[in-house]
């Protein structure tokens, strides 16, 4: 599955466009995701994967899903608590 996700992402990048890019839909949490993943905001891309999950890529590599687990991690990060879930 991970290889399939990466192949879709790479194909879209080769075409120089990504019809599945929904990064702007999550602009309200991009800064928090960047802090959580310890990367710059510009290195994050969020893709509407065909399986129905919004998928996070950092510098082209799979980095997780937009899901309840991510929001719990972001809440803990905001509260300054350890991220051991």
Q: Output the DSSP codes for the chain.
A: -HHHHHHHHHHHHHTT--TTB-GGGGTTTHHHHHHHHTS-GGGEEEEE-TTS-EEEEETTEEEEESSHHHHHHHHHHHHT-----
What pTM did the predictor assign?
A: 0.72
Reading the chain (85 residues) residue by residue, the pLDDT tens digits are 556 666 666 665 555 556 688 999 999 999 999 999 999 999 999 998 877 889 999 998 999 999 999 999 999 888 887 665 4
């Amino acid at each position: 599955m991970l290889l399939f996700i990466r192949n879709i992402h790479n194909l879209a990048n080769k075409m120089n466009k990504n019809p599945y890019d929904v990064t702007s839909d999550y602009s309200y949490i991009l800064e928090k995701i960047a802090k959580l993943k310890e990367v710059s905001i510009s290195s994050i891309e969020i893709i509407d994967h065909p399986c129905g999950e919004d998928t996070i890529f950092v510098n082209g590599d799979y980095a997780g899903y937009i899901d309840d687990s991510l929001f719990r991690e972001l809440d803990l990060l905001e509260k300054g608590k350890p991220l051991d879930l």
